[in-house]
Amino acid sequence: MHLATTLRNALTGIAAALALAVSAPLSAVEEQGQLPLDELRTFAEVFNQIRQGYVEEIDDSTLLEYAIQGMLMGLDPHSTYLTEDAFQSLQDVTSGEFTGLGLEVGMEDGYVTIISPIDGSPAAEAGLRSGDVILKLGNVQVKGLTLNEAIEIMRGPKGSKIELSIGRPGESQPFEVTLIRNTIKVASVRESWLEPGYGYIRVAQFQSSTGADVRKALEKLMSQETLKGLVLDLRNNPGGILRASVDVAGLFLNGGNVVYTEGRVANSDLYYDADAVDATDGAPIVVLINQGSASASEIVAGALQDHSRAVIMGTQSFGKGSVQTVLPLSDSRAIKLTTALYFTPNGRSIQAEGIVPDIEVERATVTAYNSPRRITEADLSGHLDNVNGTSKKAKREISPLLANDNQLYEALALLKGLNILGLRDRKSVQEAPGES
C-alpha cells in the first residue's frame, strides 16, 4: 500500500497545483514544490479550452479521466487506467473464468495486438495467433481506441457474435473471422503421459493456484509410474501472477534464485528464491516456449535455463520483462502501472528480448515421404530370415504426435535421448573395474 499512498499524494499535489495554476500567479504555484509549473499551467489552459470550446459538452470528471488515460498510454503498452468494469475484468481473468473471446492482448503502435489466445477459447478455435493485429472490431476501427475501450467491445454476453478484421505478419491482405463469445474457463494446468515414463504438463496461464496445481499434477503422474522425463508446455501462455511462476519454477530446482525485480521505488527491489527440494528428483525436463509465451512463463523458462535444469525448446518468447502493480485510486478506480523490471538469476533482462531457446524448433506440418519404390532386404526373393524371428517389413506410417505437434514430438525425442545417455552412463559406472 506504500506505493498506492505515494500515488494518491502525488495526484493530490498535482490537483492542488492545477487549481492554483488556473487562478493564481506563477509565484503562488512555485510554493507548491518541484512540479513542472509551466507545463501544469499549459495543461490547465488546454483543459479549460476543451471544457469551454469543444463542440460537445464534456463534464470535468470525464475530461480528467481522459487525461489520466493519456498519461498512462504514453508510458508503455502495459500501464493503463482501470475503470470499475476493467478492474473487475482483470480480477476475473486471474481467477480463471470470464465471458469473452479468450484473447490476451496488448497495445502496439496504436493497434491491439494478440499476445496469446487462451486454450479452448473461441479465439484459439478460430486459429488466431500470437502476433496477429486486430484492425477492426465489428464496424469500429481499432486505431485510435484505448486498450480498455477495445477490450470492452470484445467483451459481451455469452452467445453474441462479433466480427474481427485481422492483419497477420507475412500476409499481404487482412482477413475476417467471426467469433461467438463464450464463458472462458481457463484450466490452468493439465497433465498426461506422452509414452510410458514420459510425462506432459501444460500450463495455460499463471493463476493464484497454479503452483499447487502443478505440484498435484506431478504427484499424480509420479504415483502411477517412474518419471523418466517431463515436457513442461508453456507455449501461448500469456503469464499472470508473478508469485505463481516462482512456485512453479521452484518445483524443479534445488534452491537458488528464480527471479529478481528492480524498480525506482524501494519496495520494488525483491528477490524470489526456490525451495531446496526438486519435486521431480532430477528427472530430465524440456520446456516448450513460443512467441506467445510471455511474462510469468518467461520467468520459469529463464530460471530453469540459467540453472541448467531444463532444455528450452521452440521459438523465441514474447519478451515482456516488466512487472505491473494495480494501484487503487478509490473503491471503483485503479491504475495498472509498470513499477519494475524483472531479471533472470544470471541477470538477464527479458524486456523486448525474450527467452532464446536452446534448441530452436519452428511449428510445422510434417508429412511422411513415401518413395514410389522402397525396397528392403525383406523384399528380396530368397532373403535370409532374421535369426531372432520372422522378418518384418518396416512400416511407413507417420507418428500421430509428429503429424499433430512436431515441437512436442521433438521434445519427447530429446527426452528419450537424454534418458538413454543417462542409462548408459550409469551402466558404465557400474561395470567399471574397481580399484585395489
| pLDDT tens-digit series, residues 110-148 | 789 998 888 888 999 999 998 899 999 999 999 988 888
Give residue 19's pLDDT.
Answer: 56
Convert the pLDDT of each residue in 342-356 to its tens digit: 999 999 999 999 999
Count of CB atoms within 10 A of residue 48's CB? Answer: 11
| Closest C-alpha to 130, from 249, 295, 241, 248 | 295
Which residue ranges make up each domain of the chain?
A: 2-58, 82-95+97-185, 189-360
- The pLDDT, as a whole number, for residue 348 is 98
Fold of 189-360: 2-enoyl-CoA Hydratase; Chain A, domain 1 (3.90.226)
Mean pLDDT over residues 294-320, rounded?
A: 97
Let me know if 38 is a catalytic residue.
Answer: no
Q: Is residue 1 scored above 70 in pLDDT? A: no
| DSSP β-bridge partners for residue 116 | 104
Q: Is 295 a catalytic residue?
A: yes
**pLDDT score for 278:** 96
As a whole-number percent, the residues of the chain with pLDDT over 70 amount to 83
Answer yes or no: same fold for 82-95+97-185 and 189-360: no
Classify domain 82-95+97-185 at the CATH class level: mainly beta
Tens digits of residue pLDDT in 219-248 = 999 999 999 999 999 998 999 999 999 999
Give the model's pLDDT for residue 366: 80
| Strand-pair category, 311-314 with 285-289 | parallel
Q: What is the mean pLDDT of residues 367-388?
A: 72
Instruction: Encode pLDDT of 246-260 as tens digits.
Output: 999 999 999 999 999
Of residues 79, 295, 297, 317, which has the active-site annotation?
295
- Cα–Cα distance between 159 and 100 in angstroms, integer? 9
- The mean per-residue pLDDT over the stretch 277-285 comes to 95
**For residues 8 and 58, which has the higher predicted lDDT (pLDDT)?**
58
399 compared with 277, residue with greater pLDDT = 277
Q: Is 298 exposed, middle or buried (0-12, 13-18, 19+ CB in 10 A)?
A: buried
Out of 116, 228, 317, 320, pick the active-site residue: 320
So what's the pLDDT on residue 290? 94
Q: Is 192 a catalytic residue?
A: no
Would you state the pLDDT for residue 350? 95
Helix (H, G, I), strand (E, B), or coil: what is residue 194? strand
Rounded to the nearest 5°, which phi and psi values hold at 44? Answer: -60, -35
Residue pair 138/153 in contact (Cβ under 8 Å)? The answer is yes
**What cell numbers appear for 104 in the block?**
490476451
Q: What would the grid cell of residue 167 be?
A: 492483419
Asked whether residue 436 carries a pLDDT value surpassing 70, the answer given is: no
Give me the catalytic one of 306, 317, 322, 336: 306
Q: Are 105 and 120 in contact (CB under 8 A)?
A: no
State what percent of residues in the chain have pLDDT above 90.
53
